[in-house]
Amino acid sequence: MKYFEMSAVLAEQSIKNRSLTIAVFGQGKMGLPISVVFLEAGYKVVGVDINPELVENLNKGLVPEIREPGVIEGIRKGIESTRYYATMSIEQALEDADIIVIIIPIIVDDDKIPNLNPLTELMEKIGSNLKKGHILIQETTLPIGTTEDVILPILEIHSGLTAGVDFGLGFSPERTYSGRVLKDITENYPKIIGGINLKSTDRMALFYSSFVQKGVIETSSAKTAETVKVFKGVYRDINIAIANELAKIAEKLDVDFYEVRKAVNSEPSGNLLLPGAGVGGHCIPVYPHFLIQTAKNLGVKPTIIQAGREVNMSMPQHVINKIIQGLTYLDKDIKTSKIALLGLSYRGNVKEHRYSPSIDIIRILNDDQLNVYLHDPLYKPEEIKEIVSVNFSENLEEVLTEADCIILLADHKDYEKSLVSKMESLANKPYIFIDTRNIYEIEETEERKVYRIGV
Ligand SMILES: NC(=O)c1ccc[n+]([C@@H]2O[C@H](COP(=O)([O-])OP(=O)(O)OC[C@H]3O[C@@H](n4cnc5c(N)ncnc54)[C@H](O)[C@@H]3O)[C@@H](O)[C@H]2O)c1
């Protein structure tokens, strides 16, 4: 008997005994840590993925390096104790599992419309294998209403079962920060949950409460839980946009944005964020488009949300303007100058380049056929070839040598200490340094012009 059809007493017992199996669809940067959280809580886990190489490697204990502390060891321990295996077979996974967790990415197409096809195709396949007693929990961030309006009917049609009665269904967003996912889930935040009916919510609460120290926040519906995640992402995007716009104004005012920010934030209600080269990753730049579409469908004009996106998407060009300004000031010809970009990732110490401002900057510079060089300690040359066309080297010295313009885009740890001395000895002086992260407190000299966003 599977979890959702058990009596309340039996369900509690199965949680207490950790006798349940969880199928986690998507074994990527989020799916792997989530699997480890479930394993460490004492459950069995089936990792499901469409990538055959990944599945094969996972079963051999060859876990990809995703820079999440505890993940590699956690999966290996799971394999050794036979409490984890990976598979591409939905049939097998659903045979074994009581709880189905979905954590595959949803992205927007070129017209910024969310592409739900990968999800709906997966739901059709899961629906065809769904059994009485399963509960399916969406953890992937979704456009609001997707669980009830899109997923529920697909699962019912393909399974012939009734949602909320024969199988459970709900949404529980992943509220984590890359690099500390395990801790965020188990220790740092309560888990937001929302089922399509009371029984679904109850069973989700029982499950998550067994390993989330801060407990659960039960919302009144799956739709409410979906809204929490999308609103939070949009709130952040807009706040970053305000910082970016104010930084641009501060530059024109000849006022130091960072000095102003420090003073502003001395009030309890002041929470001005940091400006930067743009917003990357597959969360924050994507979720506003989910909401823009929803608002339009509902006849609400998403004015601020759209404006925020526009400001954040303008930041790569703002960095380019600084390159032009700096090289012109130094009387260097941009066509023959060597431009060194440090960091492909959208933020430090994380290997994630989706929607990274670095890619936009490289593309704009490539359009003018400029001499662009890239370094990122987290990437290999063969990976870069698949992502963007640029001169890439794993050797920082090689990228800095004879550079006329050096732009720090991702504040990776590797750059911390040695960067300034390396720039000083290797750059083609006089040179410009654009610190888009504002982490180096270095003076301007006759041979080094320094730019920041907001100064
Ligand atoms: N990475 C983050 O920081 C973060 C934070 C919060 C929430 N999230 C959420 O997690 C989602 C997934 O992010 P990620 O970083 O793990 O993505 P990822 O690209 O690292 O991994 C996704 C994995 O899903 C697999 N996959 C794709 N379609 C599949 C299918 N039909 N069946 C089984 N597996 C499939 C892919 O092969 C890949 O291994 C995001 O879209 C977002 O909603 C991510």
pLDDT tens digits along 395-428: 999 999 999 999 999 999 988 878 999 999 999 9
Q: Is 291 a pocket residue for ligand 1 (Cβ < 6 Å)?
A: no
Specify the DSSP element, H or E, that contains 102. strand 99-102
| Domain finish residue from 309, 324, 350 | 309
For the domain that residue 305 is a member of, what is the CATH number? 1.10.1040.10
Q: Based on the domain organization, do 235 and 146 belong to the same domain?
A: no
Question: 160 C-alpha to center of ligand 1: Å?
Answer: 28
Asked if residue 276 lies in contact with residue 347, where contact means CB atoms within 8 angstroms, the answer is no
Question: 182 C-alpha to center of ligand 1: Å?
Answer: 16
Q: Based on the domain organization, do 287 and 401 belong to the same domain?
A: no
Q: Based on the domain organization, do 116 and 205 belong to the same domain?
A: yes
Q: How far apart are CA 452 and CA 275, in angstroms?
A: 9
Q: How far apart are CA 242 and CA 311, in angstroms?
A: 8
pLDDT for the residue 81: 97
Does 318 map to a domain?
yes
Catalytic residue (one of 2, 29, 44, 229): 229
Does 35 map to a domain?
yes
Does 225 map to a domain?
no
Choose among 415, 341, 426: nearest CA to 377.
Answer: 415
Indicate the top mutation candidate among 45, 104, 119, 387 to test ligand 1's pocket, ranked by most ligand atoms within 8 A of CB. 104
Question: pLDDT tens digit string along 359-371?
Answer: 999 999 999 999 9
Phi, psi of 381 (to 5 degrees): -55, -40
Does 24 map to a domain?
yes
Domain that holds residue 260: 230-309
Question: 30 C-alpha to center of ligand 1: Å?
Answer: 6
pTM for the whole thing?
0.94
Q: Based on the domain organization, do 248 and 352 belong to the same domain?
A: no
23 three-class SS: strand
Q: Based on the domain organization, do 399 and 441 belong to the same domain?
A: yes
Q: Based on the domain organization, do 11 and 146 belong to the same domain?
A: yes
Tokens standing for 57?
């490697």
Does 251 map to a domain?
yes
Q: Based on the domain organization, do 41 and 167 belong to the same domain?
A: yes
Q: How many domains does the chain have?
A: 3
Residue 247 CB neighbours (<10 A): 24
Ligand 1 atom with least separation from CA of 105:
41
pLDDT for the residue 296: 94
Q: Based on the domain organization, do 143 and 16 belong to the same domain?
A: yes
Asked if residue 18 lies in contact with residue 43, where contact means CB atoms within 8 angstroms, the answer is yes
Q: Based on the domain organization, do 45 and 180 belong to the same domain?
A: yes
User: Per-residue pLDDT for 7 more than 90?
Assistant: yes
**Within 13 Å and on the Cβ side, how many CA atoms surround 432?**
26
For the domain that residue 126 is a member of, what is the CATH number? 3.40.50.720
Q: Based on the domain organization, do 330 and 286 belong to the same domain?
A: no
Q: Is 405 a catalytic residue?
A: no
pLDDT for the residue 416: 81
Residue 16 CB neighbours (<10 A): 11
Does 212 map to a domain?
yes
| Domain finish residue from 220, 245, 264 | 220
Choose among 119, 154, 150, 127: nearest CA to 294.
Answer: 150
Asked if residue 312 lies in contact with residue 279, where contact means CB atoms within 8 angstroms, the answer is yes
pLDDT for the residue 418: 87
Does 159 map to a domain?
yes
Does 93 map to a domain?
yes
Residue 202's pLDDT band, with cuts at 50, 70 and 90, is very high
| Domain finish residue from 169, 190, 220 | 220
Residue 92's pLDDT band, with cuts at 50, 70 and 90, is very high
Q: Based on the domain organization, do 38 and 167 belong to the same domain?
A: yes
Asked if residue 128 lies in contact with residue 92, where contact means CB atoms within 8 angstroms, the answer is no
Asked if residue 323 lies in contact with residue 329, where contact means CB atoms within 8 angstroms, the answer is no
pLDDT for the residue 291: 96
Q: Is 229 a catalytic residue?
A: yes
Q: Based on the domain organization, do 54 and 191 belong to the same domain?
A: yes
Q: How far apart are CA 345 and CA 181, in angstroms?
A: 18
